[in-house]
Amino acid sequence: MTTLAANWLGALTVGLGDLLDRSLRDASRLDPAAVAAVLTVRARPGQSVSDLAGTLGMTHSGCVRVVGRLVDSGLLLRGPGPDGRTRGLRLSDTGDRVADAMLEARRNVLEGMVEKLSPDQAEDLERVLKAMLPLLPDDRADARRICRLCEHAVCRGDDCVVSAAVGP
């Protein structure tokens, strides 16, 4: 049973990933790296390109290129960073609207899937997710990578089982 469940979990991961990728691209007309950059900056405005690269699992130079494209397209703005030595990133008003559209598209896909379950199945799913998600991150950087596309207003602090797993 464990091998079968693991295989189904893999299929679910791929299938949901494909649905989310398509919905986020349709909502934004951005490639996956740009989608993740916009949503990550939305969650943590003012972060540096180095911090963003770490969260996205990209090289610094690759992230600089993504950020440059997003600045050129009017979605991101560069400004003072948190320590005065670095440049911080934040979304423009247009970037905020695009992020809103992406999060709505993401929410629609995921809620649409959960709504197809019975109430008991939805409760079971929540229980399983609450048990499995904390097993994923080893540290704060892992937690940020895992939650890079999340709707952070939905679960913050103790409500985020991923973040709670690695502590403050």
106, 151 Cβ separation under 8 angstroms: yes
Give the right CATH number for 15-116 from 1.10.10.10, 1.10.490.10, 3.40.50.80, 3.40.50.1000. 1.10.10.10
Reported as a single tens digit per residue, the pLDDT across 67-110 is 999 999 999 999 887 777 788 999 999 999 999 999 999 999 99
142, 54 Cβ separation under 8 angstroms: no
Half-sphere exposure of 113 (CA within 13 A, CB side): 14
Reported as a single tens digit per residue, the pLDDT across 17-61 is 999 999 999 999 999 999 999 999 999 999 999 999 999 999 999
Reported as a single tens digit per residue, the pLDDT across 104-117 is 999 999 999 999 99
* Domain range summary for the chain, segments of one domain joined by +: 15-116, 119-168
